[in-house]
Structure formats: structure tokens, C-alpha cells
Amino acid sequence: MSFIDLKYINVISPRLEKFSKKKDYLYNFRCPYCGDSKKNKNRARGFFFLKKSDMVYKCHNCGVGRTLANFLKDMDVNLHDEYVMERYKRGLTGRGTNTSSPKFEFEKPVFSRSENLKSLRKISELNKEHPAREYLANRHIPEKYYHTLYYAEDFNEWAGTTDTFREGRIVIPLLDLSGNMIGYQGRSLQKDAMLRYITIMTDESHPKIFGLDRVNPDEKVYVTEGPFDSYFIRNAIAMCGSDVDLRSYDYQFIYTFDNEPRSRQIVDKIASAINSGHNVVIYPSNIKEKDLNDMTLAGHDVQNLVECNTYKGLEATIKLNEWKKV
């Protein structure tokens, strides 16, 4: 059991209505996702409890279940980031083992695009049984993009980062409008990786955007929340961070945020895009999948789905209010 989980439960507890400790590793409070009972203000059906070696969240009213990390991310992004960093600093791998604290400082690599990627193999060059290629195939990433992706057997050694990330990762180059590399993402192959994506910019003057070199700025440009999602719809870029500022681009953006109506962070992002005059995609209630990749895996025609569910202005606000559950 990680004492860090208990520490951050204690930190977030003053913000949770009717919070109380029932017994060791069991905490109760009113659900912040559904608001719990509207008739009885004393009803509290949200719980933190121990599952295996980690604390998790479950509401017995609306049914929402979250890992503690995702719960913190929904409530306070900054607190979530501190939680993630502290787990890594103490070398936690899920079993609560303490190791020396790593430093999350990425030295800017000093190499050109060709020198940087020359030492790596393209995904298209790997055999079909290679874990990286199997990973992309299982996610139905179109093979026509495999030649633009790379694999680093030891991401730490290749990128010059700390030994925290000494593992194989798919390398996704971030290119500017002219095709010059301005950064890259390292995507873990592990489903339960604490940091699935590591984004390192080699040119800090550019925003963290994937796909600028692939889109036609004269047409509507879809904005997704991850590089892989952008492969499933036409003329799309992807934000590679929560702080990406697109105001310097005079494009007709259509934002396609994740389909998470119970996420306050997602709801606020959609509302902000609407208030800024942008088009947004708001999915119908029969779509249960979280993102474009999952929707593709479920058999949906995602291009048609986003085109038929794009809204703007007052109509978008009405749709958002119908869709959100926070």
C-alpha cells in the first residue's frame, strides 16, 4: 500500500463534501461527479477504498469508477501532476518500493532531424511480430503511417533523459509546417504506464502540436487530443499537452475532445472552445467509447461521426449542456 495515496487523499479531502474516514483504507464522501442525492444533502455514496495495492474511487450512485490518479486529474490537474511525480520520485512501481528520486529534467538534444532519427528503425521496417508494430496493429493505426513512426529500444539512452524511462517506446516526431523536427513524443507500449506519453521539444519556440506538416490550412482542421487519434480523420492535428496555444494559427479549427462527459476538465475545455468561437464535436449519447481510436476499434465510422456532430455557438452550448454529466 502506498502512503502517497493516503497523503493525496488527505490533501484533496477538504474539497470533498461530507468527507469522512470509515476505517483504514475506506473513505466516504458525496460524489463530485454526479453530486449524489439532490433530495438528501447528507447522502454520501462516493468511496475511496483499497484495491490490490492502490486506492481507487467508486460511486454507488452514478457508478463512476476511477483510479486515484484519474480522480485527482479530474479534480485538480496540478495536484494530479504532483502525485504522479512523487510516485516516480520514490520509485513506486505498484508495490511501494522506495528508490532514489529521479530528476525530471530533459536536456535539449543537440542534433538535427536526420541525425536524431537516423539511429532508429522505422516501424515499417520492423517485423510484424515486433511489440511496437503489434501495438499499432492492435490499435488499428493505418499501415500507411508506419514509415513516419520510429522505435527506440532504450528511450532513455536515445533521448538523453533520466533512467526513469529506460524502456522501449514508439517515437512520434513533431514537425513544423516545413517538415523540420521541433520535438517528439515517446509512447510507452505498457497499457498501465503512469506516463504513457513523454513529450520533449527540441525547439521551445514552437507549440506542442503533431501533424502541422500534414494538414491543408485552407480547409477545416480537426484538433484531437493525441497523435494516434489524428490518424483516423482527415486533415487533423493533435495537441501534445494540456497547455497548447493555437491562437497563432489562422485556421478553421474543429475541436474533437475526448468523449468524457463526467470529466470537469474536458467539459471546461469544450466550453472554452465554444466561447472562443470555435466549432466543437459533441458525441451523441449512444457513443460510449472514450476517443476516436476506441470508436474506430468499436466499428464506428469516425469521419462521419465527427462531421455529423459538429456544433458552434448557441447550438454547441445547448448540446454541451445535454451531454455533460458534471
Fold of the domain built from segment(s) 113-206 = DNA primase DNAg catalytic core, N-terminal domain (3.90.980)
**Grid coordinates given for 275:** 466561447
17, 31, 18: which is closest to 71 by C-alpha? 31
Question: Taking phi first (over 0 means left), then psi (-120 to 50 degrees means alpha), and beta for anything else, what does residue 94 get?
Answer: left
**pLDDT for position 34:** 87
Cell 528503425 sits on residue: 121
189, 182, 186, 191: which is closest to 211 by C-alpha? 182
CATH of span 221-323: 3.40.1360
**Grid coordinates given for 291:** 476517443
**pLDDT for position 101:** 32
| pTM given for the model | 0.65
DSSP state of 166: -
CB contact set of 271 (below 8 Å; sequence gap of 6+): 317, 320
- Please say whether the beta carbons of 128 and 134 come within 8 A: yes
Low-confidence ranges of the chain (pLDDT < 50): 93-104, 106-115
| Rounded-to-10 torsion of CA 308, 314, 316, 317 | -160
Cell 487533423 sits on residue: 236
- Residues constituting the chain: 326
Residue extents of the structural domains in the chain: 3-68, 113-206, 221-323
